Amino acid sequence: MADKLLDSRSDTTVNKYFSYFMKWKTFITSKGGSALPASPVCIALYLTDLMNKGCSNHVISSTVYGIKWAHSLNNLQDPTENHFVKNLVESAKRTLSRHVNKKQPVTKDLLIELCSKYESTTDVLILRDLCMILLGFSAFLRFDEIRNLHCNDITFHDDYFSLHIRKSKTDQYRHGSDVVVAKGDTIACPYSMLRRYFVEANIFSANSHFLFKPCFRTRGISKLIYKDKPLSYTRARETLLHRLREIAGNVDFGLHSLRSGGATDAANASVSDRCWKRHGRWKCDKSKDGYVADSLERRLVTKQLGL
């Protein structure tokens, strides 16, 4: 039963909560107190100590969630519902939250210029990078979704292809999701670029290996490694940002700039909210709206006032 109870949260969430609970347990045990069940006053004093040490709002909230989770698993009364604890969490949000510096979204014109630069390339490494960039932009993919794509997750049709997203941040129950991407008319068409990548990298749709793997060079020719191993976040960020900056220069991009850029272009093109919310797999409007950098034309709402 204990194993089944742990399955109520994802493995990463369980590891996170357990880690923060153990820090609390180490602290309170050294003071002669009890970690489980915990006294609300002791938790409040622990949070105060963390705040005085300059810990971030993320640490405070994660600590509270970890303690709440441990008590829930053991069917104990939740001490984090105490008003001392709740008010300290709110205090941390107000005083310890840091300014979020959002990265610039990638634009369609930048991608067209980048793909034009490599219009005739047959280099697998370059094609791999361009495919990851175009898929992240056109399918509104997070990096983890790109990284975990397998060759047999791609299904080509006459005028579009579909992606099967096996694991997503918003897919808590791992039901999977399918995203469709249409064939385009420009040099930056993700359909055509993916086809080129399949041919040059000798990839078969029935293969269950990861779609984007590290590359190696032999006699001046780049190839995907034979081991079934996905590309790491560090390497992907390094190589993809390098490609984008070949055209954009020293612009403040991140891997999320691809998802943000696709969402921004869709919103500014007046695509139906329902459709692009489904395309990006967002559950609420608040989440999806945070990805959009509205164009000046859309921000000039006073044009509609008739003044």
Q: Are residues 193 and 68 located together in one domain of the fold?
A: no
Domain boundary among 39, 73, 95: 95
| Domain tally, the chain | 2
With tokens 């001392």, the residue in question is: 84
* Cα–Cα distance measured from residue 200 to residue 223, given in angstroms and rounded to the nearest whole number: 9
Domain boundary among 95, 118, 143: 95
Instruction: Give domain status of residue 307, yes or no.
Output: no
Q: What are phi and psi of 202, to 5 degrees?
A: 55, 50
pLDDT at 170 over 70: no
pLDDT at 171 over 70: no
Q: What is the pLDDT of residues 54-92, one digit of tens each?
A: 898 999 999 999 999 999 999 999 999 999 999 999 999
Q: What is the pLDDT of residues 224-270, one digit of tens each?
A: 999 999 999 999 999 999 999 999 888 888 888 888 888 888 877 87
Q: By residue range, what is the domain housing residue 83?
A: 2-95
Q: Are residues 136 and 278 located together in one domain of the fold?
A: yes
Q: What is the pLDDT of residue 254?
A: 87
Q: How confident is the model at residue 39 (pLDDT cuts 50, 70, 90)?
A: very high
Say how many C-beta atoms besides its own lie within 10 A of residue 268's C-beta: 15
Determine contact, residues 191/182, Cβ cutoff 8 Å.
yes
And the tokens for 192?
A: 């055509």
* Strands 215-218, 221-224: pairing kind: antiparallel
* Cα–Cα distance measured from residue 188 to residue 114, given in angstroms and rounded to the nearest whole number: 8
Q: How confident is the model at residue 288 (pLDDT cuts 50, 70, 90)?
A: low
* Cα–Cα distance measured from residue 147 to residue 75, given in angstroms and rounded to the nearest whole number: 38
Residue 60 sits in a domain whose CATH number is 1.10.150.130
Domain boundary among 95, 127, 161: 95
Q: Does the model's pTM come out above 0.85?
A: no
Q: What is the pLDDT of residue 196?
A: 94
Residue 252 sits in a domain whose CATH number is 1.10.443.10
pLDDT at 303 over 60: yes
Instruction: Give domain status of residue 100, yes or no.
Output: no
Task: Find how far residue 29's CA is from the centre of its chain.
Answer: 37
Q: Are residues 36 and 139 located together in one domain of the fold?
A: no
And the tokens for 260?
A: 């943000």
Q: Are residues 182 and 284 located together in one domain of the fold?
A: yes
| Stretch among 171-175, 210-214, 271-275, 290-294 having the lowest mean pLDDT | 171-175
* Cα–Cα distance measured from residue 295 to residue 143, given in angstroms and rounded to the nearest whole number: 25
